[in-house]
């Protein structure tokens, strides 16, 4: 009886609930990364860094209402920072390299966020779009440092001894460097989701939502609009920098071709499909981006299509799914489910409410009517 009561006390608080869910998520990550094959582990690693970037963009666009079309640029900043640090002879641990990517992306995000706080609507979208186009070109301008068009190869980190011992104890296998990176990506995704969920539920998150819903009312309530926008931009840029650093280790190559405008639009597509303002929606959108093309290609091969035709089938299926979601679930997958649940709850509450009782007419009126 004591354990359920203790667990109930923990889950009564928002932070406690998020920590419990995060602990379960870490267990799931360890189980999946330990027993799946190399190809599936690589897919999960790709899903993890895309989900981190999509979760950060959800905070900026879904919670704060700032439309960014240039988050691929912050991923490029994080990826190139990680690549340069990893290729240096300093021998930094991979966690320090990833923190360096987060710090650099955060600083750039603070500068861009202060400028973006003065822009609204299509002007902000246009400015971030220009950022997404300009940043990958810097690698060509500074080709001696950043590798130019060919990019930088990223060496895999060495597996720490304590980590290898722990994995061998659990699975009786020796983890490779690529599997170690996948572990890092999965655990980083869980940590980012827990942090963002707590921030979204805090006073800061409520301020972001107030600015998104009605700027005039938020300003009258004493909220500093500029500070709220800049903070949301900084948090989102930090997530994108971490995602870019993980992407550099997963892909093992950092080149301008990996950070085109398509990447930024892909992140926007993920949060639209999943549902704006929902971290669960960001996960669903990232999962669709990662696994749906492979499923469509495999389906095309099973139907007898050639390899080229099967590869061309993937964007067609993805486009059809997006059109269906927009038509049938305009609030995104998670957003539409939540709206339907709220509508059902309102109907149940209305049905359970007692019917209004009218007072009986006085006896004189009854006699008069008879």
Structure tokens at 312: 């061309």
DSSP string for residues in 177-198 = HHHHHHHHHHHHHHHHHHHHHH
Res 77: pLDDT? 94
Structure tokens at 144: 């001696």
Considering only CA atoms, which of 66, 89, 100, 365 is closest in space to residue 244? 100
**Tell me: the pLDDT tens digits for 63-108?**
888 888 888 999 999 999 999 999 887 778 899 999 999 999 999 9
d(CA 319, CA 330): 15
**Tell me: the pLDDT tens digits for 261-284?**
888 888 988 888 888 888 888 899
Helix (H), strand (E) counts: the chain: 17, 2
Structure tokens at 20: 């419990």
Res 213: pLDDT? 85
Taking the whole predicted model, whether its pTM rises above 0.85 is answered as yes
Res 242: pLDDT? 95
Structure tokens at 261: 């405008």
Res 84: pLDDT? 92
- Diameter over CA atoms, the chain: 104
Sequential pLDDT tens for the chain (370 residues): 445 565 555 555 677 788 888 888 888 888 888 888 888 899 999 999 999 999 999 999 888 888 888 889 999 999 999 999 998 877 788 999 999 999 999 999 999 988 888 877 778 888 888 888 888 888 888 888 888 888 889 988 888 888 888 888 877 778 888 899 999 999 999 999 999 999 988 898 899 899 888 888 888 888 888 898 999 999 999 999 999 999 999 999 899 888 888 888 889 888 888 888 888 888 998 998 888 888 878 777 777 777 777 777 777 777 788 788 878 777 778 877 777 877 888 778 877 777 666 555 555 555 555 4
Res 234: pLDDT? 93
Res 246: pLDDT? 95
d(CA 255, CA 240): 16
Res 6: pLDDT? 55
């Amino acid at each position: 009886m004591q354990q359920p009561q203790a667990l109930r006390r923990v889950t009564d608080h928002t932070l406690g609930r998020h920590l419990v869910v995060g602990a379960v998520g870490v267990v799931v990550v360890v189980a999946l990364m330990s027993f799946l094959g190399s190809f599936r582990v690589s897919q999960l690693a790709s899903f993890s860094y895309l989900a981190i970037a999509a979760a950060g963009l959800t905070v900026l666009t879904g919670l704060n209402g700032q439309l960014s079309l240039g988050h691929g640029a912050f991923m490029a900043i994080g990826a190139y920072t990680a690549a340069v640090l990893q290729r240096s002879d300093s021998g930094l641990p991979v966690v320090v390299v990833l923190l360096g990517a987060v710090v650099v992306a955060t600083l750039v995000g603070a500068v861009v966020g202060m400028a973006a706080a003065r822009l609204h609507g299509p002007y902000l979208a246009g400015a971030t779009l220009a950022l997404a186009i300009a940043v990958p070109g810097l690698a060509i301008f500074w080709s001696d440092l950043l590798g130019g068009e060919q990019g930088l190869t990223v060496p895999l980190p060495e597996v720490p001894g304590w980590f290898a011992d722990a994995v061998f104890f659990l699975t009786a296998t020796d983890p490779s460097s690529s599997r170690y990176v996948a572990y890092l990506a999965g655990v980083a995704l869980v940590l980012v989701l827990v942090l963002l969920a707590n921030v979204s539920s805090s006073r800061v998150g409520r301020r972001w939502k107030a600015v998104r819903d009605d700027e005039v009312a938020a300003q009258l309530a004493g909220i500093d609009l500029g500070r709220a926008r800049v903070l949301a931009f900084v948090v989102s840029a930090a997530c994108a920098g971490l995602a870019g650093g993980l992407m550099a280790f997963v892909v093992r190559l950092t080149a301008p071709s990996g950070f085109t405008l398509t990447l930024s639009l892909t992140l926007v597509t993920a949060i639209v499909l999943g549902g704006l303002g929902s971290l669960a929606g960001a996960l669903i959108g990232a999962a669709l981006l990662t696994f749906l093309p492979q499923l469509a290609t495999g389906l095309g091969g099973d139907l007898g299509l050639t390899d080229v035709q099967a590869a061309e089938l993937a964007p067609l299926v993805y486009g059809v799914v997006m059109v269906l979601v927009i038509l049938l679930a305009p609030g995104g997958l998670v957003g539409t489910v939540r709206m339907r649940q709220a509508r059902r709850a309102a109907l149940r509450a209305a049905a359970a409410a007692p019917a209004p009782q009218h007072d009986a007419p006085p006896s004189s009126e009854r006699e008069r009517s008879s």
